[in-house]
Amino acid sequence: MRKYKLLSIILAFVLVFSLSVPTAHAAPSITVTTLSVDMSGAGKIIGYIQGAPKETEVTLLITCGSDIVHIDQITAGNNGSFLFKLKVNAKYSEKKINVNIGSNAGATPYSVTYTLPYMPPGFEHIDNNSVIYGHDAYTANSIYLADSLTVTDSIIYGGNIIYFKIGDKWYDLMNPKATSSAFFVAENATPNATVKAKTAPLRYYYYGGKIVDFAKE
Amino acid sequence: MDKKSIASGAAAVVLATGLALTPAVTDVDVTEPEVIEEVIIEETEVSEDAEEVTEESSKTEKTETEETKTEKPVITEPKQPHLEAEKPTYEDYTTEIGYSFTYESERAKTITIDVPDYLSADIVTMYVNGAEVNTVLLPGNPNFTTIPVVFEDLSNIEFKLYRMGEEIGTARFIDDILKTNAKAVE
């Protein structure tokens, strides 16, 4: 009888240890915390690779059917974090895209299907933190915004109209009240339809280092 | 098998089952359950109603004597602790963050901030009046370019610091010094 008693205790301990002994080292894993694309087509994907070694390379591939919508590679930052910024073409408006993220850290690739929002071309395709001079739009970081000749040309072509977009709202920088950041609150915003009418037809979008022709968009 | 041995065997199995059902602790599975704090906000409509009641009752009781008027219940404004809590004190904004400006042109200006490494932040987002200006990845000295007028009145600007998807604090300009309430990893 003692034999059975001993056997049952041994079996119980075997069962307990087999279920509770922790894994020595978990493989790196990819977690995405933010995946968003707004009406302008501006998107960002933020996440981290748990357990990633320093300088892990992270790759992003976004496809829509057989089309490559976006492809990029970056070095992971602190804590294995990554940030991808994208600008999705308006032609993919409301379509389903496949977002794939991989790395050289041995993590299982991350893959998800995401439905893009309504993204009309033209006026609505202008990002936040952009400015319109006349009929030309500029991102704030555009190299052309620093070029006086380009901006002067925009004003000569389209008139002395200057609007700034932030928080999906437009603000008239020619308004005498637009002297500080306190102006950029909803009650001071100009209706989108007004800005759209005054700046139409849009000519160029100086996007970072690129020039996008609105007519060919 | 005698009764004793059956009983001891059964006890061992119960013990084993109990321990086995306890979630295994691994070096990965350390996520603590999210604690959702329930905040009860008193509706201000109550006080408005209360004022209306006082007005109405004062009209109907115009004919009453002074004594009855004094007997009317005194309706005091309900305490609104949530409003007091919203007042920013910035007492916990103790860590300074260095910053500098660069004029790109008359039409663009850049702020560069120096987030201390010991905060282990990995993402910083800049906001003006709550609207996002830009998001950048750390390490390095993140810079944010926008139109110069945004930087007139720095009190409307804030930066949110994130660590592995969790917001760890906010940085604000307090008397033109950029300070954060983010804390280092313990």
For B154-163, the pLDDT digits (tens) are 999 999 999 9
Confidence of residue B64 (pLDDT cuts 50, 70, 90): very low
Query: Model's pTM, two decimal places?
Result: 0.71
| pLDDT of B143 above 80 | yes
CB atoms within 10 A of CB B100: 11
In chain B, residues with a C-beta closer than 8 Å to the C-beta of A145 are 104-105, 107-108
- Which of A73, A166, A206 should we substitute to test contact with B (largest number of B Cβ atoms within 10 Å)? A166
Going residue by residue through chain A, which has 217 residues, state the pLDDT in tens, using 9 for 90 and above. Answer: 556 665 566 555 444 444 444 444 578 899 999 999 999 999 999 999 998 898 899 999 999 999 999 999 999 999 999 999 999 999 999 999 999 999 999 899 999 999 999 999 999 999 999 999 999 999 999 999 999 999 999 999 999 999 999 999 999 999 999 999 999 999 999 999 999 999 999 999 999 999 999 988 7
pLDDT tens sequence across B101-124: 999 889 999 999 999 999 999 999
By C-alpha distance, the chain B residue nearest A54 is B139
Residue of A nearest to B158 (CA): A181
Q: Do residue B146 and residue A26 have CB atoms under 8 angstroms apart?
A: no
Chosen for mutation from B13, B34, B132, B147 (greatest number of chain A CBs closer than 10 Å) is: B147
Nearest CB to A181 within list B145, B152, B165: B152
Q: Which one of B4, B104, B146 would you mutate to disrupt binding with A, by most A Cβ within 10 Å of its Cβ?
A: B146
Residue B94: pLDDT band by 50, 70, 90 thresholds?
confident
Question: B66-86 pLDDT, tens per residue?
Answer: 444 445 555 555 555 555 556
pLDDT at B20: 45
Asked if A170 and A163 touch (Cβ cutoff 8 Å), the reply is yes
Average pLDDT taken over every residue of chain B: 71
Q: Which of B24, B120, B134 sits opposite A79 (nearest CB)?
A: B120
> What pLDDT does residue B73 have?
55
| B161 CA: distance to closest CA in chain A (Å) | 12
Q: Measured between beta carbons, which residues in chain A are less than 8 angstroms from residue B138?
A: 77-78, 81
DSSP chain A: -HHHHHHHHHHHHHHHHHHHPPPSSPPPEEEEEEEEE-TTSEEEEEEEEETPPTT-EEEEEEEETTEEEEEEEEE--GGGEEEEEEE--GGGTT-EEEEEEEESS-PPPEEEEEE-----SGGGGPPSSEEEETTEEEETT-TTTT-HHHHHHHHHHH-S-EEEEETTEEEETTSTTTTSGGG-SGGGPBPHHHHHHHHPSP-EEEETTEEEEGGG-
